[in-house]
Amino acid sequence: MNNIADYKIDHLSIGTVCSHSALQIFHGAKQEGFKTIGLTLPSRKSTYELFPLARPDEFIELESFKQLLTTENQKKLLDKNAIIIPHGSFVEYVGAKNILENYNVPVFGNKGSMIWESSREKVTQWMELAKLNVPKYKSPDEIDSLCIVKLGGAKGGRGFFLVKNETEFYDKLGPNKIEDVVVQEYIVGVRYYHHFFHSVIKNRTEFLGIDQRLESNVDGLHRIHEYVEPSYTVTGNAPVVIRESLVPGIIKMGENVVKASKELFSPGLSGPFCIETICTPDLKFYAFEISARIVAGTNVYPLGSQYSCYYFDEPMSTGRRIAREIKEAKQNDSLEKVVS
Amino acid sequence: MNNIADYKIDHLSIGTVCSHSALQIFHGAKQEGFKTIGLTLPSRKSTYELFPLARPDEFIELESFKQLLTTENQKKLLDKNAIIIPHGSFVEYVGAKNILENYNVPVFGNKGSMIWESSREKVTQWMELAKLNVPKYKSPDEIDSLCIVKLGGAKGGRGFFLVKNETEFYDKLGPNKIEDVVVQEYIVGVRYYHHFFHSVIKNRTEFLGIDQRLESNVDGLHRIHEYVEPSYTVTGNAPVVIRESLVPGIIKMGENVVKASKELFSPGLSGPFCIETICTPDLKFYAFEISARIVAGTNVYPLGSQYSCYYFDEPMSTGRRIAREIKEAKQNDSLEKVVS
Amino acid sequence: MNNIADYKIDHLSIGTVCSHSALQIFHGAKQEGFKTIGLTLPSRKSTYELFPLARPDEFIELESFKQLLTTENQKKLLDKNAIIIPHGSFVEYVGAKNILENYNVPVFGNKGSMIWESSREKVTQWMELAKLNVPKYKSPDEIDSLCIVKLGGAKGGRGFFLVKNETEFYDKLGPNKIEDVVVQEYIVGVRYYHHFFHSVIKNRTEFLGIDQRLESNVDGLHRIHEYVEPSYTVTGNAPVVIRESLVPGIIKMGENVVKASKELFSPGLSGPFCIETICTPDLKFYAFEISARIVAGTNVYPLGSQYSCYYFDEPMSTGRRIAREIKEAKQNDSLEKVVS
């Protein structure tokens, strides 16, 4: 239950945790005329003060991210009529369950989506309901080709490893438990991480851009011939575009993910999301993840992307798109539709 | 023979097939004030309706791409004073020979260029006349180093394979006939696909940007140590820039390609084209292709590139550049110079 | 000793050698309203005339780059109240020592930085004073893991090679002398080349963007399975962004490099610089170079980057940033602070 009904809608502010995609979110909120609030550890504050056009108007300093959940800090935000934009770090620090059950500040989008993106089983169920191609899951004794092993709850790809057969699986598993990992067919192809924005105000799913994650060390391995065990820590992102004949299928994927979400957690997904895919030589997309909130890959496009420019004749980042949605919801007196 | 002389030049429209680089072409045409027409299969129409700033003003629906050539559809376009922008999919669907012999709608650029880009022998002759470095062609018994084997007419790199010697060549050739393939020295280096626009109105060859194609699975192979046979299906593109000391040589390549085209098919190449190259450690470019029309790699730059901004103080995509050329030709009463 | 005190400050011009990042520098200088001068070999002049918005207003033609140093050419520049922007090719052609001792035309930034970036020992001392992580240097008999061997004075990575042990080191050393090379631990990870601008007028260190160099042939090696000896010739650059949680540490690196420079060569570094790093899976940056002047990687962003847009609400390249600094110095009557 959030308190949006009590908000003074002419004094809204937009807040988020100073990390992940916060510069873009603050920048976009300022472009749309909102006051901005940065939730930050003291150590990070000075960085966010450096950028004149992305600096939050106000900071709430936290000794640790646990304090995001305190009544006192929630009250501060409620008093400022703040809408929180939940990016990956926010979800990680507070926890999807806590956001759903113990967080009363209005959160942009549908909190239900955080539950559904946060567990491997749930997100797989979601992807399958949306008719996405999902790489096959396997039990250890079914490993008969290159597979990737993912630790449950591994953040940003850390702890993933590749195996070719059952023996290698057990060798590399180490102290981890079988029940804590999933084994998935490894798809060889080019990675495309598609950014969408589902607007409940405009009732449309926009395709706002594509990035590729740069993971260390795996995206440095092509420069050496020696065998080094690959690791998958996300370190950054690069811009890419897709063959145009694939765009209809990508938009279909986005629309299907929204449609499936309505069945799974009514009223369904709203706001920014991302479908992480691999494109194979026969031009099929395999989806291995849905991120049901703004992804860091959108940081590649703070002034808009190669696709956003076909929707908007002004620089439109995902951060700004969020603020625009809030502004239009306010104008239509439907704020309750865009927060939860 | 086209009908441009009969056109009502104050009611021109710009049309293309809904694929390849059509979003960019429609977007650019609209920026320059033209009416736009999308030739589309019914299944793709909804996608092109989604983008407010790149949506064609009107659609002509086709049951199959064969219908592009019917008298009826050509008449529809002639009645709308349409100039067709021939991108890669248009050329593929209609066929270079048909465009030359059986298509009466005015086509932007010189149709002759489509004949010259569409056959491996002809494009090689063109590249050699333009004094580009072309990787050596070899007969099977001359294969003494890494070579790439290209199937005749292979679209988007599909069906290419690598061989190191004659035995491997015959092993991998499979059911294909020797006379249907070419064997070419494999050049190891960094790929740069240079976008040009030759303006017959301004009488200059502009250097509008560079991309790198992302091919599946070959551009995903660096992430695994296992041997997987590379394949080369084009899936997308990424932006890159070149060392500035190489720019004079690149512009020279572009100008030489235009100059050679005048000898091969008078009055020569006009409009957008691309020279696909590999840059070796000694900073030599090897050219392996000329695309004598807009390439999909320009989709990376719908608001202009790192080089277009030195020509134009407004966002200038290749799509918009085409529309600008038509506009200026119209103003100079020289439309017949920019279409064929 | 430069002659800035004698300049007519209402008739300043900005000059540089036609190479490296000159298009960007001229473009930026023109945007800020300065007259521009291109120092060029006759062979390159025509290229720089092609770009209407980056074309220098005036050329000084040189038979060879040695002539940059002649009294006559220096006098021409002094007469035009020219400030020279020293990019990598300028420093290479004139020589850091010559710029310091025999060049009287005011040079943007602190000439001392060129001395400190130009020798491997000095730049290492600088990096260590700035508390950057520097990959370990090794003597040949200490090579016990993958190492990179760098020839002294190797330009743009040419002549670098990899070794795994002492035997391989001597095998690959060839005719080079041991005292002319350094052996450095090879760090496997993702490369990020961070662009900064230290403004002495605003007294702040701005983080203006990140690129990745594209080196031939090493950045083409992922497309083949065969062993080919890697080489590292810089051919171009690509845009990337970094995980936002790493931004505070990057800015700290930039600030520390400036701080250390004040100890090493008072009044320290000013203007554009770059810290070339590798990001490892544990999210540590290893720095292997400081470039104490505009780097070619900034050519990726002639209209600003994913970070510059958070400082400036107009397209701000590093080239334009330089011109802006000169303009603001002029307005504050502090030109002597921004040149040396």
For residue range C162-183, list pLDDT tens digits in order.
Answer: 999 999 999 999 888 998 899 9
Instruction: State phi, psi for C81 to the nearest 5 degrees.
Output: 55, 45
Percent pLDDT > 70 in chain B is 99
Of the candidates A210, A221, A279, the beta carbon closest to that of B223 is on: A221
Beta strands B13-17; B82-84: pairing state: parallel
Instruction: Give dist(CA A125, CA A130) in Å, integer.
Output: 9
Q: Residue C20: closest CA among chain B residues belongs to which residue? A: B244
- Subunits that touch chain C (at least 3 Cβ pairs < 8 angstroms)? A, B
List C-alpha distances in Å: B49 to A194, A205, A210, B18, C224.
Answer: 19, 13, 20, 11, 41
Task: Give helix C318-331 / helix C22-31 axis angle, nearest 10°.
Answer: 40
Q: Residue C87: closest CA among chain B residues belongs to which residue? A: B244
3-state secondary structure of C293: coil
Interface-testing mutation among C51, C93, C231, C303, with chain B (most B C-beta atoms within 10 A): C51
Calculate mean pLDDT across residues A113-129.
93
Instruction: Give dist(CA C59, CA C62) in Å, integer.
Output: 9
Instruction: State phi, psi for B158 to the nearest 5 degrees.
Output: -65, 135
Instruction: State phi, psi for B228 to the nearest 5 degrees.
Output: -130, 135
Instruction: Give dist(CA A273, CA A132) in Å, integer.
Output: 15
List C-alpha distances in Å: C255 to A50, C108, C259, C323, C325.
Answer: 12, 19, 6, 22, 18
CB pairs < 8 Å spanning A and C:
118
* Contact in structure between B323 and B201 (CB atoms under 8 Å): no
ipTM tops 0.90: yes
Q: Order of strands, edge to edge, in the sheet holding A147-151?
A: A137-138, A181-185, A147-151, A161-163
Of the candidates C279, C280, C310, the beta carbon closest to that of A54 is on: C310
Residue C277 parent element (H or E): strand C271-279
The CATH number of C137-185 is 3.30.1490.20
C151 CB-side CA count, 13 A: 17
A93 to chain C, minimum CA–CA distance in Å?
13
* Contact in structure between C270 and C110 (CB atoms under 8 Å): yes
Token output for B316? 């200038």
Model confidence band, residue B154 (pLDDT cutoffs 50, 70, 90):
low
Instruction: Give dist(CA A205, CA A197) in Å, integer.
Output: 6
Interface-testing mutation among C216, C226, C241, C279, with chain A (most A C-beta atoms within 10 A): C241
Ordered alpha helix ranges (H), chain A: 22-31, 42-49, 71-79, 88-94, 96-102, 112-118, 120-129, 166-173, 247-264, 318-331, 335-338
A309 to chain C, minimum CA–CA distance in Å?
16
Cβ <8 Å between A217 and C248:
no
Tens digit of each residue's pLDDT, chain C (340 residues):
678 999 999 999 999 999 999 999 999 999 999 999 999 999 999 999 999 999 999 999 999 999 999 999 999 999 999 999 999 999 999 999 999 999 999 999 999 999 999 888 999 999 999 999 999 999 999 999 999 999 876 566 778 999 999 999 999 998 889 988 999 999 999 999 999 999 999 999 999 999 999 999 999 999 999 999 999 999 999 999 999 999 999 999 999 999 999 999 999 999 999 999 999 999 999 999 999 999 999 999 999 999 999 999 999 999 999 999 999 999 999 999 999 9
Interface-testing mutation among C242, C288, C306, C308, with chain A (most A C-beta atoms within 10 A): C306
DSSP state of A188: P
A2 has a pLDDT exceeding 90: no
DSSP state of B322: H
B131 to chain A, minimum CA–CA distance in Å?
31
Cβ <8 Å between C51 and B311:
yes
C212 to chain A, minimum CA–CA distance in Å?
10
Interface-testing mutation among A310, A316, A317, with chain B (most B C-beta atoms within 10 A): A310
- Chain A residues near residue B232 by CB distance under 8 angstroms: 281
Cβ <8 Å between A246 and B224:
no
- Chain C residues near residue A294 by CB distance under 8 angstroms: none
Token output for A75? 């009250």
Cβ <8 Å between B238 and A238:
yes
Matching CATH number, B4-108, of 3.30.200.20, 3.40.50.20, 3.40.50.1010, 1.10.1040.10:
3.40.50.20
Instruction: Give dist(CA C255, CA A90) in Å, integer.
Output: 28
Cβ <8 Å between C164 and A225:
no
Model confidence band, residue B11 (pLDDT cutoffs 50, 70, 90):
very high
Calculate mean pLDDT across residues A134-157.
88
Q: Residue B26: closest CA among chain A residues belongs to which residue? A: A310
Cβ <8 Å between A190 and B221:
no
Ordered by start, the domain boundaries in chain A are 4-108, 137-185
Lowest mean pLDDT among B156-165, B284-293, C53-62: B156-165
Residue B1: the pLDDT is 64
Segment A35-92, tens digit of pLDDT: 999 999 999 999 999 999 999 999 999 999 999 999 999 999 999 999 999 999 999 9
* Contact in structure between A74 and A55 (CB atoms under 8 Å): no
B69 has a pLDDT exceeding 70: yes
Instruction: Give dist(CA C253, CA C255) in Å, integer.
Output: 6
Nearest-10 Cα torsion for A81, A85, A91, A94: -20
Please give the residue that has the higher pLDDT: either A99 or B159.
A99
3-state secondary structure C2-17: CCHHHCCHHHCEEEEE
Residue C155: the pLDDT is 60
Please give the residue that has the higher pLDDT: either B163 or B154.
B163
Residue C152: the pLDDT is 75
- State chain B's mean pLDDT as an integer: 96
Segment B108-125, tens digit of pLDDT: 999 999 999 988 899 999
Cβ <8 Å between C220 and B189:
yes
Residue B157: the pLDDT is 75
* Residue B39 bridge partners (DSSP): B17, B60
Of the candidates C217, C232, C300, the beta carbon closest to that of B280 is on: C217
Q: Which residues on chain B place their C-beta less than 8 Å from a C-beta of chain A?
A: 19-23, 27, 43-44, 46-47, 50-54, 89, 158, 214-217, 219-226, 228, 231-239, 296, 299-303
Token output for A304? 């808009």
Of the candidates A54, A225, A235, the beta carbon closest to that of C227 is on: A225
List C-alpha distances in Å: B170 to B152, B175, B177.
Answer: 16, 10, 10
Residue C42: the pLDDT is 96
For chain C, the distance separating the N- and C-terminal CA atoms, rounded to the nearest angstrom, is 7
Interface-testing mutation among A149, A210, A232, A243, with chain B (most B C-beta atoms within 10 A): A243
A1 has a pLDDT exceeding 80: no
- Which residue matches tokens 């005190």? C5
Q: Residue A296: closest CA among chain C residues belongs to which residue? A: C243
- Chain B residues near residue C215 by CB distance under 8 angstroms: 190
Token output for A147? 């597979």
Cβ <8 Å between C210 and A302:
no
Cβ <8 Å between B222 and A227:
no
Instruction: Give dist(CA A309, CA B30) in Å, integer.
Output: 13
Instruction: Give dist(CA C87, CA C295) in Å, integer.
Output: 7
pTM of the prediction? 0.97
Give the number of other CB atoms < 10 A from CB of residue B287. Answer: 22
Instruction: Give dist(CA B319, CA B23) in Å, integer.
Output: 9
Segment A165-220, tens digit of pLDDT: 999 999 999 888 999 899 999 999 999 999 999 999 999 999 999 999 999 999 99
Cβ <8 Å between A223 and C227:
no
- Chain A residues near residue B304 by CB distance under 8 angstroms: none
Of the candidates C214, C226, C299, the beta carbon closest to that of B244 is on: C299
* CA-only gyration radius of chain A, Å: 20
Q: Residue A208: closest CA among chain B residues belongs to which residue? A: B51
Instruction: Give dist(CA B283, CA A54) in Å, integer.
Output: 41
- For residue C175, say if its preceding peptide bond is cis, omega within 30 degrees of 0: no
Residue C156: the pLDDT is 65
